[in-house]
Amino acid sequence: MKSIRTMIVEDDFKVAEINKEFAEEVSGFSVEKIAKDAAEALTYLENNPIDLIILDIYLPDMHGTELLKMVRKHEYAADIILITAAHDAETVECSMRYGIFDYIVKPFAFTRFRDALEQYRDYKDSLNENRHYNQEKINEFVAYNQHPDSMEKLPKGITRYTLDRIIEALDSLHTSFTIEDVISRVSLSKITVRRYLEYLHERGLVSKDFEYRKVGRPLVVYSSQR
């Protein structure tokens, strides 16, 4: 999987480092640049492709929404997630108007940040996998960009796109399968696949059994109940 090139624009160095650590804990993200102000961010964007900008509103040289406008004006191919203490109507409406992917209000829990990044990663994966889209897939893209939480409610750490990929993989497998069987079809980490299989197990869509061997830990074997 190609890394999602990420830039953090935040004038507080300690906060920027924390956000960098959070971002790189999510599989698939690589923080290429931390910019302390809008000027540094724009200079970097001139010669370096960035997929995602994690942007604070309060910058020393200009308001974050002005930077957002300039990113769009110059047609840089970067999506934007705002992480900010600003939650007034004018800022929120302006940000939405210029096509942000998500808006996270400080202070926030890591799980909220992780969910936003996972949604974005799934969105990018879907874009990269297809060159043409049916109406259903376009509807998903619109839902992502208009309001990520407008998608069907799922537990934290579970996204619709990845869940659909897992279910599609299960349909191609034999009745019984292991985590490794699923990984070979979806190219996701073992931790991620286990989380989704456990979710399906809790919903009664897969059963789980243990195959005990002479040595080592027992092998977890799943069976589809769909």
For residue 150, what pLDDT is reported? Answer: 43
pTM (global) more than 0.85: no
Q: Residue 122: enclosing H or E segment and its boundaries? A: helix 110-129
Q: Give the count of beta carbons closer than 10 Å to the beta carbon of residue 35.
A: 22
In this predicted structure, the answer to whether residue 127 has a pLDDT above a threshold of 90 is no
Task: Tell me the one-letter amino acid at 185.
Answer: R
How far is residue 140's CA from residue 161's CA, in Å, rounded to a whole number? 9
> Among all chains, which residue has been given the structure tokens 């040289």?
61
CA 5 to chain centre: 12
The residue among 186 and 131 whose pLDDT is bigger is 186
In this predicted structure, the answer to whether residue 159 has a pLDDT above a threshold of 70 is yes
pLDDT in tens, 53-105: 999 999 999 999 999 999 999 999 999 999 988 888 888 888 888 889 999 98
Q: What's the chain's average pLDDT?
A: 86
Domains defined along the chain, listed by start: 4-127 (3.40.50.2300), 160-224 (1.10.10.10)
Q: What is the CA angle 68-72-74, rounded to 5?
A: 120
How far is residue 124's CA from residue 47's CA, in Å, rounded to a whole number? 22
In this predicted structure, the answer to whether residue 167 has a pLDDT above a threshold of 90 is no
How far is residue 93's CA from residue 73's CA, in Å, rounded to a whole number? 18
Which residues have a Cβ under 8 Å from the Cβ of 109 and sit 6 or more positions away? none
**Of 128, 201, 162, 169, which Cα lies nearest the Cα of 27?**
162
